[in-house]
Amino acid sequence: MRVALLSNVNIRAVCDELRKINGDLELYVPDGYGLWMQELLGDNSPLVNFSPELLFLILDGSELIRGLSEGEVLGILDTIRSFVDKHTYLHLFVSELDVWCREILPNDVLSRGRLLEWEWNRRIYELSGQRERVHVFKLKELIEREGRKAFYSDKLWYLGGIRYSSYGSNVIAHEIDVLIRSYKRSRKKVLVLDLDNTLWGGVLGEVGLDDIELSDVKEGSRYKDFQRRVKELKDLGVLLAICSKNNESEVMEVFERHEHMVLKREDFVAMRINWEGKVRNIEEIASELNLALDSLVFVDDSPVERELVKRSLPCEVPEFPSDTSKLNDFAWDLYKRYFYVLKVSFEDVKRTEMYLQEKERERLRREAVSLEDYLRSLGMRMKIKRLEEGDVRRAAELTQRTNQFNLTNLRLTEAQVRERLSNPTYSAYIASVEDRFGDNGKVLLAFVRKDVVNGIAEFENLLMSCRVFGRYLEDQFVGFIEDELAEEGFKLIKARYVPTARNKPAEDFFDRLGYKVVLLEGGEKLYELALKDSRERKAFADIEYEG
């Protein structure tokens, strides 16, 4: 991945540390000092020629405002906005300003630096809300957390224009790494939680509902604050599950009767509250949610349980704080290490609701006379459209996170999705699905590469979220695309299946649709279908084309 760093101070130490953390990055930093504005303004600057996927603009507040009027400082934001609008291949992270006011002023006088700092920070959050590809680098928040005297170095500044101490440079580099990982959609999906001495203090079976530690004051407040943070993770799209050795009826009483429970039963998509081993229960949670074990994070106060799970399963098992006054910090660490997100999508906000709706669908399926009756009773509607700019983020996310129904395992960044959007030899389709229980969001995606001269089209990739497995939606999706290509004059369509450790469910998909295998090599299959051939497909959803 190509990543560029620009700054108005010397950040070589940040770059060196970032290379140690992530050696796979291709980094660009201007050779000269103070060239960041020229890089943004030049149509043929080294930065533009480098074509970074991510650009981090790390600005020192004190240096930025020195010698500039308020209008000049804030005018820089117009330059940044114009740069982003012009260069659609990148995501830009703009730092907050932190101004360390050193002037000697009367007590009741607010410094000019503080005013400019506040206005700049307000405007970059506003810009981030207006532009999908602009994000905030929370430099001021980092400095406030670590302390200015630890973060800055006067000695290094006077010696070589290096504003940040070695410790500060290290913190910045690690924050950049967190943001890169979040951009790549590599976050985990499920937070599995113990209960006793985790979501509340004390052992429920021993002290009873009235005497567990959970309150607004003293010891109980640390657990209530932790629940607040967990609830915030859920609101960002993290799925919550419970794995606890307890009597289920007693736990349900806590959820229903305890006035200080922040988390409710409906916040959890799966619960295993019994006296079985936690390894087995976690395996069942992953199976119930149709997710790989390595997408789970398990939190438990017991070092014995943590070690057993860590030795037995590939899920993440962080250390629980021995000092529970640090639970707030622990929640933040969970967020940064496993669940960090740049912006919240529709799918993020609705994720828990979607999984709970899926349980209702499963109940209906068990009650149905046949699979066909069940599928018809769902009242499904599939909306298909050509991929647009507003779909890029979700499309990239689908390629990065879909494993089981992913025919070629092609993983794309947002920049690579945009490249295909602008390439006339590609057509890309995305589909959302609704039914009587709710909206599943955008769950099907296809990229088709077209050879107009020879009348041949090829599925570069086809994928579908596991949340709509088993409904034959993929059959209708492909059938719609085939009809579109036939109307455009294409005679032959090709497809490919590339086996991976996880996409076995998609192995025979094109065989089922009547495609002919023309090459089989090492498990990889190349298919062809003449578009003139009859193509009857099972259909249980009404299709709406948003062309």
Residue 434 sits at φ, ψ, to 5 deg, of: -120, 155
pLDDT of residue 531: 92
Residue linked to tokens 């507003």: 390
Question: What residues have CB less than 8 Å from 362, skipping those under 6 apart?
Answer: none
Of residues 276, 215, 279, 286, the one with CA closest to residue 246: 276
274 lies in the same domain as 131: no
Give tens-digit pLDDT for 494-533.
999 999 988 999 999 999 999 999 999 988 999 999 998 8
Give tens-digit pLDDT for 141-191.
999 999 999 999 999 999 988 999 999 999 999 999 999 988 887 789 999
Give tens-digit pLDDT for 297-351.
999 999 999 999 999 999 999 999 999 999 999 999 999 999 999 988 888 888 8
Where residue 290 falls (left for φ over 0; alpha for ψ -120 to 50; beta otherwise) is left
CATH number at residue 206: 3.40.50.1000
Is residue 435 included in any domain, yes or no? yes
Percent of the chain with pLDDT over 70: 99
Is residue 9 included in any domain, yes or no? yes
At 137, is the pLDDT very low, low, confident or very high (cuts 50, 70, 90)? very high
383 lies in the same domain as 455: yes
Is residue 266 included in any domain, yes or no? yes
Give tens-digit pLDDT for 429-468.
999 999 999 999 999 999 999 999 999 999 999 999 988 9
174 lies in the same domain as 194: no
268 lies in the same domain as 417: no
Domain count of the fold of the chain: 3
Give tens-digit pLDDT for 74-116.
999 999 999 999 998 899 999 999 998 888 889 888 888 899 9
491 lies in the same domain as 450: yes
Q: Which residues in 288-408 belong to E strands, given as ranges?
A: 296-299, 380-386
Of residues 457, 386, 454, the one with CA closest to residue 421: 386
pLDDT at 235 over 80: yes
437 lies in the same domain as 507: yes
Give tens-digit pLDDT for 25-62.
999 998 766 789 999 998 889 999 999 999 999 999 99
172 lies in the same domain as 297: no
What separation, in Å, do the N-terminal and C-terminal C-alpha atoms of the chain show? 34
Is residue 157 included in any domain, yes or no? yes
pLDDT of residue 126: 95
Q: How many CB atoms neighbour CB 326 within 10 A?
A: 14
- Return d(Cα 209, Cα 207) in angstroms, integer: 7
Mean pLDDT, rounded, for 210-236: 95
- CA atoms 363, 369, 374, 375: torsion sign: positive
At 262, is the pLDDT very low, low, confident or very high (cuts 50, 70, 90)? very high
29 lies in the same domain as 161: yes
- Return d(Cα 431, Cα 515) in angstroms, integer: 22
Is residue 349 included in any domain, yes or no? no
Query: Crossing angle of helices 166-183/139-146, nearest 10°?
Result: 130
Given 183, 201, 220, the domain boundary residue is 183
Is residue 374 included in any domain, yes or no? no
**How many Å separate Cα 228 from the centre of its chain?**
21
Mean pLDDT, rounded, for 359-363: 89
pLDDT at 477 over 90: yes
Containing structural domain, residue 45: 2-183
Given 141, 167, 183, the domain boundary residue is 183
pLDDT of residue 33: 67
CATH number at residue 54: 3.40.50.1110
156 lies in the same domain as 199: no
Mean pLDDT, rounded, for 407-420: 91
Mean pLDDT, rounded, for 414-442: 93
Q: How many CB atoms neighbour CB 139 within 10 A?
A: 25
Average pLDDT value over all residues in the chain: 93
Is residue 272 included in any domain, yes or no? yes
- Return d(Cα 530, Cα 524) in angstroms, integer: 20
Is residue 144 included in any domain, yes or no? yes
323 lies in the same domain as 443: no
179 lies in the same domain as 210: no
pLDDT of residue 103: 84
Asked if residues 240 and 193 have their Cβ atoms less than 8 Å apart, the reply is yes
Given 287, 319, 339, the domain boundary residue is 339
CATH number at residue 486: 3.40.630.30
94 lies in the same domain as 179: yes
Q: How many CB atoms neighbour CB 186 within 10 A?
A: 12
Asked if residues 180 and 225 have their Cβ atoms less than 8 Å apart, the reply is no
